[in-house]
Chain A
Amino acid sequence: MAGSRRPFAPLRNLNAKIAAVPMIVTVLVVFIGCTLWTVVYSFTSSRSLPTLDFVGMDQYVRLFRTSRWTVSLKNLAIFGVLSLSFSLVLGFILAALMDQKIRFENTFRTIFLYPHALSFIVTGLVWQWILTPAYGVQKVVRDLGFETFNFPILTDGRFAIYAIVIAGLWQGTGLVMALMLAGLRNIDDEIWKAARVDGIPAWKTYLFIVIPMMRPVFITTLVIISATIVKVYDLVVALTNGGPGISSEVPAKYVYDLMFSRGNLGQGLAASTIMLTTVLIILVPWALLEFRPRYRKGEVSK
């Protein structure tokens, strides 16, 4: 320290830097390290145990020739688009209704948020019982006198993925509602007053003033829902176990099955690499756009 008054630059804020070390190590080893490991071994013929026997693109060729994988990707797309749009729309509508200073708001909020406290396994089982033809909705309606009523959502391969969407929405919408409600409560009352003075109808105020102001809340929600969508696994296992046939399989289940129960690490890792790539392709351009540095004055946020 002799000679200079200012501390040596790398030693500045030493405490903060030391505190950050564990996180930096975790990121480097766990996230980046394991990701690289995954990608490297996806090019090998590893079976139950990893071996460095490189086979080029073989695993990927097989992956995209496997109809179970292509069906999984298609299902993830259906599940993703539907649950993303519906949970945002429904969640916002519920929050807007809740924001009308209704009575028993606490009770309703608890009711809507409650499903989120359950694990996906429980949700899956409950909905399996509700939707299964022998005991569920179909039987109840038939017992009411509609003998020919058919509701084969779980037993017909064309519809099974929608059963998963329904159960997912039931579980997830409450959380979206809570986040949106918090966002709505942050909107200054003055804005509502000003809109009312200008004679703007309530729905227009929501659509053109409130929603743009809630942009950060929407982004948070989007990130949270997207993460649950990509990793959807337990819900499918509990609700349909991928059936009937392979019609409601999802990528995460393919990865798990191949890696653990079928002892084909290489194939499972190739599948997870594709999952990672897909997420990156969507995420990176969006993140660059969203989080790029902006001029404070140049760009006016709407």
Chain B
Amino acid sequence: MRYRSVLTALATSTFLFAASQAGAADLEVTHWWTSGGEAAAAKVLAESYDKLGGDKWVDGAIAGSGSTARPIIVSRILGGNPMGATQLNTGRDAEDLVKAGLMTDLTELATKEGWADFIRPAKLLDACKYEGKIYCVPVNIHSWQWMWINPNAFKEAGAVVPTNWNEFVAAAPKLKEKGIIPLATGDAWQIDGVFRVMLANLGGKDLYLKIMDEKSTEAAGSPEMKAVWQAFADARDLADPGYVGRQWNEATSLVLTGKAAGQIMGDWAQGEFGVAGKVAGTDYDCLPGLGVHPVLDTGGDAFYFPKNANPEITKAQLKLASMLVSKETQVAFNLAKGSLPIRGDVDMQTANACMQKGIKILADNNNVLPSYEQAFSSDTQGQIEDLTTEFFADKNMTVEDAQARYVEIIGEAK
């Protein structure tokens, strides 16, 4: 007995997650929610889980963005050292892990609670399915297609506050004169995000779907797609040289403080405005869909539960899964995160002006797009990211060259 407890103590000191006491489990949850707004949202989950009694949420936040955290998470699971639960993006992040049978099957719980009835859009749950079984819990809807602007920056420069992308480009010279950065952006994935948004909102829904769903090289080489590349070429003149290596929340804070006029970034940026105590509509404003085509993709975060040998952990996993989809958690969590809830039957009256816009757009199923993560493997996403960032940094690269290589990548995508 004594020997055992010493052993447990040793194990906990090295591996926080390995400890388990009778009847209650410590559930280590890994995620990469580390910016101000995100951390506040993660805390909501941790507190509500601990309140359920018994099991404990052991926070395993991994600093850096998803591209840093994902390999750490995946290699831990592959290496036979699984955590209790982990956040990943909705989509194909964990596809191979699920296929290899490393994830806990949630189907029983999902049928009992009737997830399929209230999770909307239904595509979110489809992304968790493999061979008809459910392996993950979507917790929120994030869309990339938002542009955040600081109206005061435009007023200061004597420019009209834009209502769409073209007006934004037109206002840029005046902003530059005043020393305001027109478009704040940052390291690779953020630049790639700008391109995604342009594809959906400047290219339109049809083009987007042809490329995402059919992987059509014809669409990728079309004149409409060329216009998207052209707009992306415009964007590289609007960024300041200091964008290299900038974090997304630093870019957001440039907009917050009026040093930059706008940022194209998913709705998670809203959490930062919230933490800073800014009011939507006056201190900052949002242009969903760049003000051109208001369509949103429905990516987001999902929780996966790697298989554990300990049955206590499995029980704790199911408890967490059930809590994540519950009405109370959905409202509290999403208000903190600035994202939209995964169920349509909750009351989001307290949401701010920008979130209301998003809820309204998503209410119409025609405005819902599949996310990149659902359509492309991380390999293809990586290839596109390499291309877009190379193009963005190298002003000598022509639109034609870039588009030709884009067609090639889409042609190879699976």
Contacts and interface: CB of A to CB of B under 8 A. Distances in A.
Contact of B241 (A68, A155, A264): A155
Interface stretch (B198-206, B291-299, B387-395): B387-395
B97 A48 contact: yes
A62 B74 CA distance: 25
Nearest to A247: B393
A133 interface: yes
B132 interface: no
Contacts of B244: 154-155, 240, 243-244
Contact of B245 (A49, A128, A267): A128
Contacts of A156: 241
Interface string B377-391: 111011100100111
A155 B394 contact: no
Contacts, number: 87
B23 interface: no
Q: Could you tell me the dominant secondary structure of chain A's interface residues?
A: loop
A260 B382 contact: no
Interface string A123-141: 0000010001110000000
B242 A68 contact: no
Most buried by B among A62, A128, A257, A262: A262
Contacts of A152: 241
Nearest to A47: B96
Contacts of A67: 386, 390, 405
Nearest to A260: B71
Interface residues of B, number: 32
Nearest to A267: B379
Interface in B232-260: 241-245
A258 interface: yes
A134 B246 CA distance: 11
A67 B100 CA distance: 33
B70 interface: yes
A220 B244 CA distance: 38
Q: Could you tell me the dominant secondary structure of chain B's interface residues?
A: helix
Contact of A261 (B96, B242, B382, B383): B382
A263 interface: yes
Nearest to B69: A261
A48 B188 CA distance: 22
Given A47-B379, A157-B393, A267-B379, A240 B96 contact: no
Contacts of A47: 96, 377, 379
A245 B382 contact: no
A260 B74 CA distance: 8
B187 interface: yes
A3 B245 CA distance: 77
B250 to A, nearest CB: 11
Nearest to A254: B386
B398 interface: no
B389 A48 contact: no
Contacts of A68: 386, 390
Given A154-B244, A155-B244, A263 B378 contact: yes
Contact of A245 (B71, B377, B383, B390): B390
A160 to B, nearest CB: 8
A244 B246 CA distance: 11
Interface string B192-219: 0000000000000000000000000000
B349 interface: no
B13 interface: no
Given A243-B188, A247-B394, A264-B379, A132 B242 contact: yes
Nearest to B377: A263
A144 B390 CA distance: 34
B366 interface: no
Interface string B359-390: 00000000000000000011101110010011
Interface string A42-69: 0000011100000000000010001110
A68 to B, nearest CB: 5
Interface string B114-149: 000000000000000000000000000000000000
Given A155-B244, A263-B379, A243 B187 contact: yes
Contacts of B378: 261-263
A226 interface: no
B336 to A, nearest CB: 28
B188 A241 contact: yes
A62 B412 CA distance: 10
Interface string B72-95: 001100100000000000000001
A261 B70 contact: yes
A134 B184 CA distance: 14
B67 interface: yes
Contacts of B245: 128, 132, 154, 240-241, 243
Contacts of B390: 67-68, 245-247
Contacts of B393: 157, 243-247
A154 B188 CA distance: 15
Interface of A: 47-49, 62, 66-68, 128, 132-134, 152, 154-157, 240-247, 257-258, 260-264, 267
Closest 5 CB pairs of A and B: A245-B393, A48-B96, A260-B71, A244-B393, A155-B241
29 contacts: A47-B377, A48-B74, A48-B95, A66-B383, A67-B390, A68-B386, A133-B242, A134-B242, A152-B241, A155-B242, A156-B241, A157-B394, A240-B244, A241-B187, A241-B245, A243-B244, A244-B389, A257-B382, A258-B379, A258-B382, A260-B71, A260-B75, A262-B381, A262-B382, A263-B74, A263-B96, A263-B377, A263-B378, A264-B382
Given A243-B244, A261-B67, A263-B96, 13 more contacts: A48-B78, A48-B96, A49-B100, A66-B383, A68-B390, A155-B243, A155-B244, A157-B393, A245-B390, A257-B382, A258-B382, A260-B74, A261-B71
